[in-house]
Amino acid sequence: MSSAASDTWIVGLGEARIAPLLDDVSINELAWEAVEPALQEAGVALADVTGAITASQDFWDGRTISSMNVNEVACGSFGSEAKVAADCVQAIGYACARIDDGDQHLNVVVAHAKESEGDAHTIELAAFDPYYERQIDPDETIVAAFQAGLLYARGGASEELSARVVAAARSRSKVLDAVSVADVLASAPTATPLRVLDRAPLMDTAAAMVVCCGDQRNKLDRPAVRIVATATRSGAYWRERADLTSVAQAGEVVREALDRAGWSLGEIDIVELVAPFAHQHLMLGEAVGLGGGESLVARFEQGEINDSGGWLAGSAGSVAGLHSVLAAARRLRQGDGRRAMVCSTGGLAAQSHHVVLLEAAP
């Protein structure tokens, strides 16, 4: 495996509104809400874009080839788009590959989800083994509850610590009301030991960024952030994991990305962890090497981790990782640190892990 770092630059950022229901826009319009400001920030027109990498899920859109909804607004008719069905942090890795091999020089990366149009339980049920599991009607929350129960029983994590992660996230949210630890613990049970507020709520939203090669970045002469390295790795299906609380691949994928960049974890100024359930932040933080238990939660509360609030502060599947990348990139552009890391997870019980490392322009 190569250790080469990427020479891809982020030159434009854009976000659509985030809300539980955006019924005044279609998916195309929602994506354009994000793409248009990203293009404007980059100082380019849609016609300048040579390609796009998108992230979305057919099941959530209720549409085979969900990217048909957005490829016109991402790279125009006759553009070159490809869709990754995962969190957008993984899609960023593919975009970088197409930039680094010279195939593209100016790409849009866009993720969308309109979760108000789907039925979460029905969709999540379809992720389970059709022969052996679907009969018992599981969903992502139920598997996450198995995981949280095991995590809490193991010690070092608890419902209270998870509730503090939620409260920290919501205190930074721009779209959701702040909640206290007591509010989280008093919210309605979903699957023991999880409660409603332990899970990121469903949202409609989109996010986009314009990325380009080094030469193009010099021509555009815009505030830029370099994507130094990306990495992705998949763990086992939830039922096949000996320890459901282990997310060892998260640690491995971070180490791989750091190796590619030639960095150490201690050199990272900005850290964003992206997961849909509060307790998964505790697992990821520990696996990545950011500490555990009380001290780890304190870092969330102090904004050392997830200054943006992360997924729990309001985002959506496929989009959440990109929202955190945008937040980290903005901080880097403002001089609020030199290096950033975004780690996202996806799938049942945090099965897959994706990392992107960013660096402020010199």
Partner 1 sequence: MSHAPVRAAIVATGQTDHGRRFDASLAEIAREAIDRCLDSRGLTLEDIDAVIAGNMEMFEGIYLVEQLSVGALGALGKPLYKLNTGGTVGASVALACYHMVASGRYRRVLGVGFQKQSEGSTQAAITTVGDPIWERAVMAGAIGNFASMASTYIAESGVTQEQAAKVAVKARRNACLNPHAHLKMPDVTVEDVLASDMLAYPIHLLDMCPASDGAAAIVMAAEDLAGDLADRPAWVHAVATAHDQQYMGDSPKRLAVMRSLQAASRKAYALAGIEDPLRDFDVAEVYEPATYAELAMCENLGFCPMGGGGKLIDDGVTLIDGPLPVNPSGGVLSTNPVGATAMIRVAEAAMQVMGEAGEHQIPDVKRALATGYGGNAWTDVMILSAERPK
Please report, for residues 50, 51, 97, 213, the alpha-carbon distance to residue 103 in angstroms, rounded to integers and kept in the order given.
9, 9, 9, 10
Determine, following the binding rule CB under 8 A, whether residue 103 of this chain makes contact with partner 1.
yes
**Residue of the chain from 29, 36, 43, 59 that contacts partner 1 (CB under 8 A):** 59
199 in helix, strand or coil? Answer: strand
Determine, following the binding rule CB under 8 A, whether residue 336 of this chain makes contact with partner 1.
no
Instruction: Kindly state the DSSP code that residue 267 receives in the 8-state scheme.
Output: G
Determine, following the binding rule CB under 8 A, whether residue 144 of this chain makes contact with partner 1.
no
**Residue of the chain from 234, 303, 330, 336 that contacts partner 1 (CB under 8 A):** 234
Nearest approach, Cβ of 117 to partner 1 (angstroms)?
A: 9
How is residue 109 written in tokens?
């990366």
Can you state the percent helix, strand and coil of the chain, rounding each to 5? Answer: 45, 20, 35
**Whole-number Å distance between alpha carbons of 104 and 88:** 18
316 in helix, strand or coil? Answer: coil
**Whole-number Å distance between alpha carbons of 278 and 148:** 9
The answer to whether the CB of 273 falls within 8 A of the CB of 285 is yes
Determine, following the binding rule CB under 8 A, whether residue 67 of this chain makes contact with partner 1.
yes
87 or 307: CB nearest partner 1? 87
Number of residues that bind partner 1 (CB under 8 A): 59
Determine, following the binding rule CB under 8 A, whether residue 81 of this chain makes contact with partner 1.
yes
**Residue of the chain from 17, 63, 299, 333 that contacts partner 1 (CB under 8 A):** 63
156 or 262: CB nearest partner 1? 262
Q: Residue 185: how many CA atoms within 13 Å on its side-chain side? A: 10
* Straight-line distance from the first to the last Cα atom of the chain, in angstroms, rounded to the nearest whole number: 28
Determine, following the binding rule CB under 8 A, whether residue 146 of this chain makes contact with partner 1.
no
Determine, following the binding rule CB under 8 A, whether residue 120 of this chain makes contact with partner 1.
no
**Residues found near partner 1 in the complex (CB under 8 A):** 1-2, 4, 28, 51, 57-59, 62-65, 67-69, 71-72, 77-86, 90, 93-94, 96-103, 123-124, 126-130, 231-237, 240, 249, 252, 347-348, 351-352
